[in-house]
Structure 1
């Protein structure tokens, strides 16, 4: 089933004609629980990985843990609609604390499936996203890994990895992604309005409009940031949201070129402030507003993943050379 973003509560460029010059396109991925295969774009499904190629591993020191959740028990509990039971760590502490830990495959996207997905190095058209299941250092930082491939070469492998290596326990239940199929949809998007992301007079107009909407309609009034600019959830291209950090200048560490947003991974597809973006297919047409959203967990948080404290993970790549190291920003 396709997914269709409803019309915005206000016509963005009718209210702010100046924004036409700043308009861009983003592809909302609309992940929903399903059974994707290794040749599909997905979140949480099986990764297209040649059997003879070593699975990526994290070699950094990891924080010691005392309890966690077994991946198979997480899967069984979800299937039964239950919460998995935590278990004490076996032995002396976190597996791999002083050695390599296999990354968890979070997602893979083929350019043939996802409009607007930027090309990788040497014409790579498949990107795969991984995360270390454990935290690092005193600030509990996370390690991510991006792997680019040429689909034609990857699919020539004689055999593909059937089951990637897993750690025996995960610290949190939301470290394990739920397999989700995608329903890509291109929509217009506009920059986050703060600091120098837009001209100062335009940001002032946006702030004044927000204030007028709240004065007229109360706390449930539409706002530019929540309803008109950037959709929530998993998406490719477009603009980053800066709700937690404020706008940041992201430059390539190899060549100092301003980096572009490759993709955004979001823990939730909606929250109380962004329910207007929920697709028509996931709504009860007899109801209005947030009450019309149906589908529960499979719609509001289909991937079961979390990034930071319910923030967005922005993945930036270098437009001058996509082979330069990416940057990861939680915002």
Structure 2
């Protein structure tokens, strides 16, 4: 179904997005990927989170997570060990204040991903990290972006073989599963709520949705979930606002409206996104979640989660690529 055939007024709001379609595999450091080895020059300091962390009582060892996944079982939880004191950290530093190495989640090259924005100085490789520990009473997370010039970085004499890793993770879903990508460009359209679109157009969309349900039942296609924004990891396009409602994201440095760089999610598809499921991954005779073929490797290939199964939107400033990004769970 062509959304512009139903709502021609949406044409000016069309925005291209690249679905990444991660699938478990063996990506290399010179590949775009989720969960694979980072292109990281040997000798360059790995990013550390220096903010205070919450004290934990139990968790999961990364290697036990990997072994359990290979065996198709759940990993065992363990009592949280006493933290050692990393080199350069004063003796007697409380465990909560010991710096923690970030976990590398993904890296994307512009040569692989259509529509990936340039970083500072025309940087064409972006790397995404997350602190594996939580912060504050609301279990807040900390993220980090590293922009690079791909050509200059690939000319390094040596690369980091094994990044630093914490001995324990609070949750199993802190450890990404290595995934190769299968980029696909599609059109996206704004989330239809508040003032993201003209009020008259939103009213027409709502009326169309109601008519579809009346005619076809609860599994009828809807604008919000079937026609506007695809699920899953993606670059560019329009942000989804299912949990929070639309938000205006302005640059903290210059107040310029920010642009969506990428979206990271836990699930590539669910019962509400039937129309976006690749044909080879669904049973055409079934609807909803029951139609998804391939199990977890298709529905949740990266094994990551963000918030309570929300979308993590990473926004950047188009006026100043070097300005700090904004991280929004929606």
Shift of 1:96: 4.8
State the secondary structure of the residue aligned to 2:108. Answer: strand
Does 2:11 match 1:13? Answer: no
The match for 1:37 is 28
Tell me the alpha carbon deviations over residues 98-126 of structure 1, each in whole angstroms, 9 at most, x when there is no partner.
12100000000000000000000001000
- Do structure 1's residue 239 and structure 2's residue 238 form an aligned pair? yes
**CA deviation digits over 1:262-296, x for unaligned, max 9?**
000011001111122111122345x3433432100
* 1:65 and 2:63 correspond: no
SS at 1:202 equivalent:
helix
Distance (whole Å) between structure 2 residues aligned to residue 32 and residue 289 of structure 1: 22
RMSD: 1.4
Does 1:199 pair with 2:198? Answer: yes
Question: Does structure 2 retain, via aligned residues, the 8 Å contact 1:66–1:93?
Answer: no
Change (3 A) 1:163 1:92: closer
Partner of 2:72 in structure 1? 81
Q: Which has the larger displacement, 96-105 or 187-196?
A: 96-105
How far off its partner does 1:321 sit?
A: 1.0
On the 8 A contact 1:65/1:93 being kept in 2, the answer is no
Alignment of 1:108-257 (within 5 A): 108-257=107-256
Distance (whole Å) between structure 2 residues aligned to residue 137 and residue 123 of structure 1: 36
The alpha-carbon deviation at position 92 of structure 1 amounts to 7.2
Listed one character per residue, the Cα deviations across residues 216-248 of structure 1 (whole Å, up to 9, x for unaligned) are 111111111010000001000000000000000
Cα separation, 2, equivalents of 1:275 and 1:119: 33
* Alpha-carbon contact 2:83-2:95 (below 8 Å) kept: no
Q: How far apart in 1 are the matches of 2:282 and 2:310? A: 25
The offset of 1:139, in angstroms, is: 1.1
State how far apart, in whole Å, the 1-side matches of 2:95 and 2:120 are: 31
Alpha-carbon distance in structure 2 between the residues aligned to 1:137 and 1:258: 28
Q: Matches of 1:93 and 1:165 in 2, distance apart?
A: 14
Structure 1: 5+ residue stretches without partners:
1-9
Between the two proteins, the alignment pairs up a number of residues equal to 321
CA contact (8 A) 1:64 1:93 kept: no
**Retained in 1: the 8 A contact 2:33–2:108?**
yes
Unaligned runs of 5+ in 2: 86-93
TM score, norm. by length of structure 2? 0.95
Provide the secondary structure at the position in 1 that maps to 2:96: coil
**2:99 corresponds to:** 100
